[in-house]
Amino acid sequence: MSAGEVAGTLAVGFAAGMSSGLLGIGGGILFVPGLVLILGESQLRAEATSLLAIIPVALVGSMQQKRHGNLRGRDALWIGVLSPIGVFGGVELANVVSQKLLSYLFAAMMLYFAFNLARRALNPR
């Protein structure tokens, strides 16, 4: 790994951790684009790497939020139990579709959520 790659990896990790703690985004929303755009990884490798890298981020972030009384344990448990079931199908699908389609789907998902979050922030109930 070159010095530039090490610096890029450290920057992505720090930014993802900071954003996770501040915004609760879990890091994947930054890990994947960071790995693709900064480190030149393929979409598929970035997604796979992000899945493993998210474990310590999620554990530390959830423990910190629990300390502040913000954790909804029952919801976290159900999401945690059901998500791995979907991961099996998602990984298989990700390995048969094109990298370009994966990139478009990831970008579309980010745009969809960004639009809806912005709309909700502008029109609170």
Give mean pLDDT, residues 29-58.
89
Q: In the predicted model, is pLDDT for residue 26 greater than 70?
A: no
CB half-sphere exposure, 103, CA atoms < 13 A: 12
The pLDDT of residue 123 is 92
* pLDDT for residue 35 is more than 80: yes
54: nearest Cα among 26, 34, 76, 25: 26
> 49-83: string of b/e by CB count within 10 Å (b at 16+)?
bbeebbeebbeebbeeeeeeeeeeeeeeeeeeeee
Mean pLDDT of 66-83: 92
Query: pTM of the full predicted structure?
Result: 0.76
Q: Which contacts qualify for 64-72: CB closer than 8 Å, 24 or more apart? A: 64/21, 65/24
Q: Are 12 and 38 in contact (CB under 8 A)?
A: yes
